[in-house]
Amino acid sequence: MYENLLNISEASKLLGVSPSTLRRLEKSGYIEEYGLKVIYTPGGQRRYILDEIQQLYSNQGFSGQIGFGKKIALLIRDLTIAFTDPHSQLSIKIEDQISSAKQLIEEAVIQKIPIVFSKTIYEPDNKVSRLWSEKFPSLQILDHQSTWSQIHPDLSGYSFDIINPTVYITDLYNNQVNDYLQSKQIDTIILAGATTSGSIRATAVDALQRGYRVIIPKEAVGDRNQTLQNSTLLDLNARYADVISLDKTLKGMKK
């Protein structure tokens, strides 16, 4: 029925992982999430389909899962009016991001997990702000005081450990945030908010570089269209972060 079947050592060589990693990923269910079939021979040997393996390797790379560490922080970005109101030039395609963020916040409060809410603002006196707004002038609506910069009403009632108004793309270009995470001995960062291809992605890369494990619940992040959303999550999962379901994230937050 299938042509070009590979045994486990051939498949793992193509994917650049060890056979034991491949077996482990199968046990934890990740092989299925990657859309790979594992066929068992009557003798119990694993076989993989060459086409699928090649497609996986060339399209998204293959990656291990890093998993949760011991101390978690929740970082929420830009779930403000500007990014969630359909009338705004900056808005994302809203699906379940707000309700997902609510669930994450409520679990974080129960588990005493610190929460940082970062929001992009425009400061005319800041060089980076001015430069970035040359690329897209609609950034200028994000005046610190304006309605656009206010937190989404469904989330504004919660108390956050830090509110971080920032002119930067990543949440971590701020010593106050970094010092806080270090003082709490955080080793795992959960990211929620907008936009997936923008600040979420940049913060994920930056956080990994700083040694944090990065978890992205896919229902809790959003972008301006589905292509950006999907391709970014594939990339992130292949290179920098664990992209998992909201349910799995909520489970991981429980002690």
Partner 1 sequence: MIQHNGDDETFFRKRGFGKLLGFGQKPGLIVVDLINGFTNPSMPMGSELTGQIERTNKLLNTMHEMNLPIFFTTISYDDDSLADSGIWFQKMEGLKTLKTGTEAVDVDPRLDYRPGDGLIVKKYASAFFGTDLIARLNANNIDTVIIVGCTTCGCIRATAVDALQLGYRPIVVEDAVGDRSQASHEQSLFDLRQKYADVLTTSEVIETITKTKAASTKI
Give contact residues for partner 1 (rule: CB under 8 A): 16-18, 21, 58-61, 63-64, 66, 89-90, 127-128, 131-132, 134-138, 168-170, 173, 197-198, 202, 205-206, 208-209, 211-213, 224-225, 227-228, 231-232, 234-235, 238-241
111 vs 138 by CB, closer to partner 1: 138
* 247's tokens: 């349910």
* 175's tokens: 């010593």
The CB-of-3 to partner 1 minimum distance in angstroms stands at 24
69 vs 158 by CB, closer to partner 1: 69
The CB-of-158 to partner 1 minimum distance in angstroms stands at 28
161 vs 165 by CB, closer to partner 1: 165
117 vs 212 by CB, closer to partner 1: 212
Handedness of CA 90, 93, 98, 101 (dihedral sign): negative
The single-letter DSSP state of residue 200 is I
The CB-of-42 to partner 1 minimum distance in angstroms stands at 31
Handedness of CA 122, 125, 127, 131 (dihedral sign): positive
The CB-of-156 to partner 1 minimum distance in angstroms stands at 25
48 vs 240 by CB, closer to partner 1: 240
- Cis amide bond preceding 21, omega within 30: no
**Chain mean position to CA 192:** 7
13 vs 110 by CB, closer to partner 1: 13
The CB-of-120 to partner 1 minimum distance in angstroms stands at 11
Give the C-alpha distances (Å, rounded to integers) separating 241 from 67, 120, 212, 244.
9, 22, 10, 9
The percent of the chain in helix, strand and coil, each rounded to the nearest 5, is 45, 20, 40
The CB-of-93 to partner 1 minimum distance in angstroms stands at 11
71 vs 239 by CB, closer to partner 1: 239
The CB-of-169 to partner 1 minimum distance in angstroms stands at 5
Q: What is the DSSP string of 1-61?
A: --SSEE-HHHHHHHHTS-HHHHHHHHHTTHHHHTT--EEE-TTS-EEEEHHHHHHHHHHT-
Spatial contact of 52 and 35, defined as CB atoms under 8 Å apart? yes
